[in-house]
Structure 1
Amino acid sequence: MNQSIEHHPDDVIKKLIQWAEPQDSIRAILLTSTRAIPGTSVDIFSDYDVVLVVEDIHPFYEERRWLGDFGDVLVVYWDSIYRDPDYGNDKFGNVTQYSDGLKIDFTFFPVDWLRKVAGASALPAELDAGYRVLLDKDGLTDGMRPPMYAAYIPVPPTNEEYQKAIEEFFSDAPYVAKCLRRDELLPAKWCLDYDMKHVYLRPMLEWRMELDHNWSVPARVLGKGLKKRLPPEIWSQLEGTYAGADIADNWEALFRTMTLYRQVAQEVGEGLGYAYPFELDRRVTAFVKEMQQR
């Protein structure tokens, strides 16, 4: 990719509108996600998340040469057509990377979907997080609620949710230990670096972030932005939980992950007035250490 090429947002949006205006089947365009949220930091790598509202989604799925109207296509990921769980309409999307660096995430909905959204008492999360109307040929968005930018902001967990999250995190530790003892790197890394970190540690880190920001900051996908929102010492500890392929290094990474989770979960519990389950932690940690020494 020629990284010297920067796409000015106004030029990309202008091209989208000019492309859609003469096409009768396209009735509206919405811009969503990062580029539609005021004050959000973007760079040359930020995607354009584009919702296309059309008379019939199927021609755009079946005949795909239209992607080339925005540049030389490098690679594309396509969803299958599926039913929107909120409104019951068929939809699909694709993620298109162009060879000059432009990346557009297209999502297609039928006109009926936008009519339902405009008449609903609340916006779907992806629109409440932020949207801009780029084109509306029929006034379909007239009266549509403005975004509140409140979607994806975590709410404080209940004590039951807090306790459940901790137990489920620690339930993974013996499995990682077993895999490391067997020299089974792939399942060990999957459980340690995905399940323990992304499924359980990341939400706890997000709760910790919210304690410092009065439960007002959206949690971004896959932990984006956490480095800027967490105390530096916590982020430094998180970096220390990653290891390469060496089994001994992964034992150390496992214990560092458990140590970090313990610290952050205690801080979250103190902030919410919940008791941390020290006895569960102690027993699981002792069990894992014993497995290491067998």
Structure 2
Amino acid sequence: MRTEQEMFDLILEVAKQDKRVRAVVMNGSRTNPNVPKDMFQDFDIVYLVTEMESFIDQPDWIDTFGERLIMQTPENMSLFPPELGGRFSYLMLFNDGNRIDLMLVPIEEKNDYCQEDKLTVILLDKDNVLPVLPLPTDVDYWVKRPTVEHFADCCNEFWWVSTYVAKGLWRKEILYAQDHLNQNVRPMLLKMLEWQVGIETDFSVSIGKSSKYLEKFLSKENWERLLSTYGDGSYQSIWRALFVMGDLFRDTASFVADKMGFEYSIDEDQRVTTYLKQIKLSKHPYS
């Protein structure tokens, strides 16, 4: 596996040799002082270029970075709509395990781009035209303080969609139930746990993408409760997961409400919980 320094040397050498590339910046985990280093960290690189078309029209120009295991160019994909406007990205995993996420950005966007992410650092500026940037910080990714409206909406969404999960389980539509559990209910539980972490850390930390750092901020008991909500695919395990999620959500939301001066609707909680139990026990709800 090529070393970090070898990768940086290669990335910068390619840029130096190409007149179209006027500057190189980097962001992501490698610029974040709070993220531990490991071999899976991407090189999140941006080439600020004078024009885009010649790069896109000659896709083999990236071969110089090494032999690839697999690559994705999201802006060329029809299944997923482009999200970068006039920018273009190459997501490259190489045979030696290194990965470069390389984005091409028109040089005209240099000032706007450099202000988009506080984790941005400048690696090369051929024309000395980029703005001076402060030291990188992950402050933009810290847990945000909830408003009373966000808190109420989170609670309502959690309990409302819980009824969809029960409906799917009762109908023996396991994929429907799992989808609503994991795509709607679980994110609300994670959001509430995120707010608890924010309160306990004075809203000064990030829990990372997909809540990947959440474990180090939760008690062992709550972490184990959260893990137990990931069922094994059986109806029984999904029912169990749903009720454990309800218990954990209730405890966490009550904590957040108390610390933030919000009101947690225990009546709504109890009504829905009773309904869920009725659905689980009866083949003829409301009878």
Q: TM (normalized to structure 1)?
A: 0.88
Match of 2:231 in 1: 243
Instruction: Specify the alignment match of 1:194 in structure 2.
Output: 183
In structure 2, which of residues 162, 178, 181 is the aligned counterpart of residue 173 of structure 1? 162
- Is there any run of 5+ residues in structure 1 with no aligned partner, and where? none
Taking only the aligned residue pairs, the percentage that are identical comes to 27
Q: Does residue 1:74 correspond to 2:62, yes or no?
A: no
How many angstroms apart in 1 are the aligned matches of 2:277 and 2:89? 46
1-side partners of 2:198 and 2:89: how far apart? Answer: 31
2:101 aligns with one of 105, 111, 126? 105
> For 1:111-130, what per-residue CA distance to the aligned partner results, in whole angstroms no more than 9, with x for missing partners?
01103446xxxx21xx21x1
Cα distance 1:205–1:61, how it changes in 2: closer, same or farther (>3 A)?
farther
Q: Structure 2: state its 5+ residue gaps.
A: 77-81, 283-287
Q: Residue 91 of structure 2 aligns with which residue?
A: 95
Q: Does 1:139 align with 2:128?
A: yes
1:1-294 → structure 2 map (5 Å cutoff): 5=1, 7-80=2-75, 82=82, 84=84, 90-117=86-113, 123-124=115-116, 127-128=117-118, 130-144=119-133, 146-198=135-187, 200-294=188-282
The whole-number CA distance in structure 2 between the counterparts of 1:94 and 1:292 is: 48
| CA distance in 1: counterparts of 2:268 and 2:83, whole angstroms | 42
Alpha-carbon shift at residue 136 of structure 1 (Å): 0.9
Tell me the CA shift for residue 293 of structure 1. 1.3
- Asked if the contact 1:193–1:242 (Cα under 8 Å) also holds between the matched residues in 2, the reply is no
Residue 72 of structure 1 and its aligned partner are, at CA, apart by 1.4
1:183 aligns to what SS in structure 2? coil
> How big is each residue's C-alpha offset from its partner over 1:153-193, in whole Å with a ceiling of 9 and x where there is no partner?
23211112111110011111110111111221212111112
Per-residue CA deviations over 1:231-290 (Å, capped at 9, x if unaligned) read: 222211110001112111111111111111111111111121212110000011111111
Name the SS for the 2:108 alignment partner: helix
Secondary structure of residue in 2 paired with 1:151: helix
Task: Please tell me whether the aligned partners of residues 26 and 53 of structure 1 are also in contact (alpha carbons under 8 angstroms).
Answer: yes
User: More displaced, 134-143 or 176-185?
Assistant: 134-143
Task: Supply the AA of the counterpart residue of 1:208.
Answer: Q
The residue type paired with residue 183 of structure 1 is K
Could you tell me whether the CA contact under 8 Å between 2:88 and 2:103 is conserved in 1? yes
Partner in structure 1 of residue 285 of structure 2: none
- Cα separation, 2, equivalents of 1:146 and 1:183: 54
1:192 corresponds to which letter in structure 2? L
- CA drift of 1:29 comes to 0.9
Distance 1:167 1:103, change over 3 A: same
CA RMSD, aligned part only? 1.8
Task: Report the TM-score, using the length of structure 2 for normalisation.
Answer: 0.90
Deviations 1:178-210 (A, max 9, x none): 111122121211111222113x12211111111
Could you tell me how far 1:90 is from its partner in structure 2? Answer: 1.3
Change (3 A) 1:48 1:183: same
